[in-house]
């Protein structure tokens, strides 16, 4: 600063400030124009995009969830595409709606963008890429992007999505309805998500709705932070403990591949990696058997343990002996 007179500095700062403000207005209005052309409306909304607020007309209980992804914490902006970030940001919200067996309705998208964009993209192209990542997933699950806000600053990107769903006639599926003796069932396979699946989230929405309609489910959670940690959360919320039969835990090919690199077992990765976005369900024994026999989903349903009155997380040996299992996993922060 020493080479500049006070006048120069004032002029430069004033000019910079004015430039930022003009750019900010430009970015938001250009993005809004793009959104109006590219984001479909919905008859489910009384008032959608373009007013001061959205108006929803619910049929059933509203289920609301929110997630915040930040550059440097949840992703590295130079290592992934904005489409991947957009897909994931909406996918994790949809996975939470799936965990509650709620039918997706609307999403509200808030973006904070770096004024000067990334190495590759302007702030506007970054924003459009994020939306392009969200739109196919929104369409697949019957969800409308009904509003949001965009801001830019001299800092990293962040994307926050709030999703609204509706409970079905059976009501929401919660974490707290488990009973002693309930069987623990998991959809799909677990582990090794860092090899790609953590970005290609496939939320189990239609699977959860189908199971909730056809079977009596007592409690459920989506596996975001690792089977061990999420199983212990589900048990705790139901005031119970969980016993896992470890050889029964279904592992992905990625968990085995990662195991070869890490020197840990595929099972370790299934227990602790997280970001599987599969469902863990507590189901009364007879109903669990019916689900195992029916296999009504495109992905397998596997019995991996049961709820017990004895608090804590346990592993069961072949001889039936219980020993404590550490509730290790990936702490993303509060996932409520």
Residues near Mg ion (CB under 5 A): 96, 222, 224
The span from the CA of 305 to the CA of 303, in Å, is: 6
Residue 323 CB neighbours (<10 A): 8
Nearer to Mg ion, 222 or 275 (CB): 222
Least distance to Mg ion from the beta carbon of 313, Å? 18
Least distance to Mg ion from the beta carbon of 222, Å? 4
Nearer to Mg ion, 174 or 224 (CB): 224
Q: Is 156 helix (H, G, I), strand (E, B) or coil?
A: coil
Q: Are 44 and 55 in contact (CB under 8 A)?
A: no
Q: Are 328 and 229 in contact (CB under 8 A)?
A: yes
Least distance to Mg ion from the beta carbon of 17, Å? 42
Nearer to Mg ion, 31 or 205 (CB): 205
The span from the CA of 221 to the CA of 218, in Å, is: 11
CA distances from residue 189 to 224, 251, 267, 274, 325 in whole angstroms, order as listed: 13, 5, 11, 12, 20
Helix residue spans in 266-328 (DSSP H): 266-272, 285-294
Query: Of 140, 250, 107, 119, which Cα lies nearest the Cα of 188?
Result: 250
Least distance to Mg ion from the beta carbon of 65, Å? 8
Nearer to Mg ion, 96 or 276 (CB): 96
Sequential DSSP letters for 3-44:
TS-HHHHHHHHHHHHHHHHHHHHHHHHHHHHHHHHHS---TT
Nearer to Mg ion, 48 or 188 (CB): 188
Least distance to Mg ion from the beta carbon of 333, Å? 12
Least distance to Mg ion from the beta carbon of 336, Å? 8
Nearer to Mg ion, 99 or 111 (CB): 99
Q: Are 278 and 188 in contact (CB under 8 A)?
A: yes
Nearer to Mg ion, 222 or 287 (CB): 222
Least distance to Mg ion from the beta carbon of 295, Å? 24
Residue 61 CB neighbours (<10 A): 13
Query: Of 254, 246, 269, 265, which Cα lies nearest the Cα of 200?
Result: 254
């Amino acid at each position: 600063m020493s080479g500049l007179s006070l006048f120069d500095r004032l002029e430069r700062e004033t000019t910079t400030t004015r430039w930022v403000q003009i750019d900010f207005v430009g970015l938001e209005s250009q993005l809004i124009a793009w959104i109006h052309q590219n984001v479909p409306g919905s008859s489910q909304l009384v008032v959608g995009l373009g007013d001061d607020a959205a108006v929803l007309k619910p049929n059933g209980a509203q289920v609301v969830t929110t997630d915040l992804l930040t550059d440097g914490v949840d992703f590295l902006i130079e290592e992934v595409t904005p489409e991947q970030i957009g897909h994931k940001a909406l996918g994790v919200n949809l996975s939470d709606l799936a965990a509650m067996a709620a039918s997706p309705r609307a999403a509200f998208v808030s973006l904070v963008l770096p004024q000067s964009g990334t190495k590759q993209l302007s702030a506007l192209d970054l924003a459009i890429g994020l939306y392009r990542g969200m739109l196919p997933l929104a369409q697949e699950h019957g969800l409308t992007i009904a509003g949001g806000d965009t801001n830019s600053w001299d800092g990293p990107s962040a994307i926050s999505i709030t999703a609204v769903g509706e409970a079905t006639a059976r009501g929401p599926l919660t974490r707290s309805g488990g009973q002693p003796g309930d069987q623990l069932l998991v959809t799909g396979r677990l582990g090794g998500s860092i090899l790609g699946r953590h970005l290609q989230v496939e939320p189990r929405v239609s699977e959860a709705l189908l199971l909730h309609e056809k079977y009596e489910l007592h409690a459920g959670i989506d596996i975001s932070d690792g089977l061990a940690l999420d199983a212990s959360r589900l048990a705790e919320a139901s005031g119970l403990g969980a016993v896992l039969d470890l050889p029964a835990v279904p592992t992905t090919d990625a968990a085995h591949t990662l195991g070869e690199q890490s020197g840990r077992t595929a099972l370790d990765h299934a227990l602790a990696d997280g970001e599987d976005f599969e469902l863990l369900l507590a189901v009364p024994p007879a109903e669990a058997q019916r689900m195992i026999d029916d296999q009504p989903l495109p992905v397998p349903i596997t019995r991996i343990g049961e709820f017990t009155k004895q608090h804590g997380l346990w592993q069961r040996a072949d001889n039936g002996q219980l020993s404590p299992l550490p509730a290790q996993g990936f702490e993303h922060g509060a996932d409520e």
